[in-house]
Homo-oligomer: A and B are copies of this chain.
Amino acid sequence: MSKYVALNNDTALSYVQELGQFFPANAELSCYEFGDGNLNLVFRIQDTENRSVILKQALPYARCVGESWPLTLDRARIEASVLKKHGDVCPEHTAQVLHHNSELAVTILEDLGDMAILRGELNQGNTFKYLGTHVATYLARTSFFYSDFYLSAAEKKALVQEFTNPELCSITEDLFFDDPYRVNERNNYPQALEDQVSLLRDNQALLINIAQLKSKFFSSPQTLLHGDVHTGSVFVSEKDTKFIDPEFGFFGPIGFDLGSFIGNLLLNYCAQNGRVTEAPKRRDLHSYLLNTISICLQTFEQQWLTLARTHTNDLSFQAPGYAEQFLQAVLQDTMGYCGTELIRRTIGLAHVTDIDEIEDDVKRLAVQKQTLLLGEQLILNAKSCHSTDDFYQLIISFVH
């Protein structure tokens, strides 16, 4: 890493120019930095003809905290490599990597600037017809093709080594499974939630479930996960859906990505109670979000089982009924991880704007109480569900 240096607008522009492959030789380029994330610099380099690329550079510390929180630059290699691997099996929903330089921790990506980040769109009440199907397709294809069903054991073991990501996994381990369930200065919630939080921390059945979910996060390398699926990691347009930012990628339990996504839709669902005052509009949004969850679960299941039926290479895994049992356990994990996402986004370090932007304290608190309760109930009831419909009914029973 001796050559590493953080880029600025000028050096980022020069870097792209010198590669010489993205713009005509005589193009007049401009560059600006617009990263709003926590960990990276993000530049847009464009010419006067509306051509553009994105240059993303990892910083050797967490940008949101500062240089006091050092963070491995290896995450840039992981991120670019996950995008390439996911792009190999689901190019239609994966942002395209155009170039990667591990020493500089620089990745050049296609510019998705004509699309928008899903979280902001949902917060504005905008909906996307194909969202559930597209996300399910991305998660079904990426999770299947990097699982033991498809890869040889040797290929899989080599990939598990390549995508070992201890530093970023450690952040997830802390934020999802530890902090919310004990007193920790990183937690962030209003005093008025304290009673509910205390009850949650005293719920022994819940804590056993949390330990089981954490154990699977540690030691269940089922597939190459995105690792940070939330509505801020998804670009959307009317017709397209693209995933970005898999720097938390590693081999983990399939339900983690799907559960995180559904958790984010449920966070938005609850948040709409505090955001939208007109009942019909709120009803429409609620209906859209639940429908999207239903489509997402069903499409994921259908596509996964179809892939298992047609593309399972492992002979033992071809046993009739095995894929269905495997997927049932994945769906139970999904509900559990969905619950942890709801809880940690409500009382942990990293919140969502869906809720935090609600200005009225009383309304925001009501939303937080709902997300916390919903998270807890999903975790406690996950194992009594045996089908996507069971899951959907479970969700419905707690949000209606």
Q: Using a CB–CB distance below 8 Å, which chain A residues touch chain B? A: 148, 153-154, 156-158, 160-161, 164, 166-167, 169-170, 173, 177-178, 181-182, 204, 207-208, 210-212, 214-215, 218-222, 314-317, 319-322, 325-326
Known: A178-B316, A207-B322, A219-B220. A166 touches B173 (CB 8 A): no
Known: A204-B321, A222-B219, A322-B207. A316 touches B214 (CB 8 A): yes
Instruction: Give every chain B residue within 8 A of A212 (Cβ-Cβ).
Output: 322, 325-326
Instruction: Give every chain B residue within 8 A of A320 (Cβ-Cβ).
Output: 204, 207
Inter-chain contact A164/B153, CB cutoff 8 Å: no
- Given contacts A154-B167, A160-B160, list 7 more A-B pairs with CB under 8 A: A148-B219, A153-B169, A153-B170, A157-B166, A207-B320, A210-B316, A212-B326
Q: How far is the CA of A322 from the CA of B319 in the complex (A)?
A: 32
Inter-chain contact A170/B154, CB cutoff 8 Å: yes
Distance (whole angstroms) from the CB of A179 to the closest CB of chain B: 10
Distance (whole angstroms) from the CB of A175 to the closest CB of chain B: 13
Instruction: Give every chain B residue within 8 A of A319 (Cβ-Cβ).
Output: 204, 207-208, 210-211
A-B contact list, 19 entries, CB within 8 Å = A153-B166, A153-B169, A153-B173, A153-B218, A154-B170, A156-B219, A157-B166, A178-B315, A204-B320, A207-B320, A208-B322, A208-B325, A211-B316, A211-B317, A212-B322, A212-B325, A212-B326, A220-B220, A221-B221
Q: How far is the CA of A319 from the CA of B315 in the complex (A)?
A: 39
Inter-chain contact A166/B177, CB cutoff 8 Å: no
Inter-chain contact B178/A215, CB cutoff 8 Å: no
Which of A170, A221, A317, A319 is most buried by chain B, counting CB atoms within 10 A of its CB?
Answer: A319
Known: A221-B221, A316-B177. A160 touches B164 (CB 8 A): yes
Q: How far is the CA of A8 from the CA of B60 in the complex (A)?
A: 53
Instruction: Give every chain B residue within 8 A of A160 (Cβ-Cβ).
Output: 160, 164
Distance (whole angstroms) from the CB of A246 to the closest CB of chain B: 18
Q: How far is the CA of A101 from the CA of B293 in the complex (A)?
A: 57
Question: Whose C-beta in chain B lies nearest to the C-beta of A319?
Answer: B207
Instruction: Give every chain B residue within 8 A of A173 (Cβ-Cβ).
Output: 153
Q: How far is the CA of A218 from the CA of B212 in the complex (A)?
A: 19
Question: Whose C-beta in chain B lies nearest to the C-beta of A321?
Answer: B208
Question: Whose C-beta in chain B lies nearest to the C-beta of A154?
Answer: B166
Distance (whole angstroms) from the CB of A150 to the closest CB of chain B: 12
Distance (whole angstroms) from the CB of A202 to the closest CB of chain B: 11
Inter-chain contact A315/B182, CB cutoff 8 Å: yes
Distance (whole angstroms) from the CB of A376 to the closest CB of chain B: 15
Question: Whose C-beta in chain B lies nearest to the C-beta of A172?
Answer: B153
Distance (whole angstroms) from the CB of A168 to the closest CB of chain B: 11
Question: Whose C-beta in chain B lies nearest to the C-beta of A217?
Answer: B153
Distance (whole angstroms) from the CB of A100 to the closest CB of chain B: 22
Known: A160-B164, A181-B316, A316-B181. A322 touches B211 (CB 8 A): yes
Q: How far is the CA of A161 from the CA of B160 in the complex (A)?
A: 8
Distance (whole angstroms) from the CB of A167 to the closest CB of chain B: 8
Instruction: Give every chain B residue within 8 A of A167 (Cβ-Cβ).
Output: 154
Distance (whole angstroms) from the CB of A131 to the closest CB of chain B: 30
Instruction: Give every chain B residue within 8 A of A315 (Cβ-Cβ).
Output: 178, 182
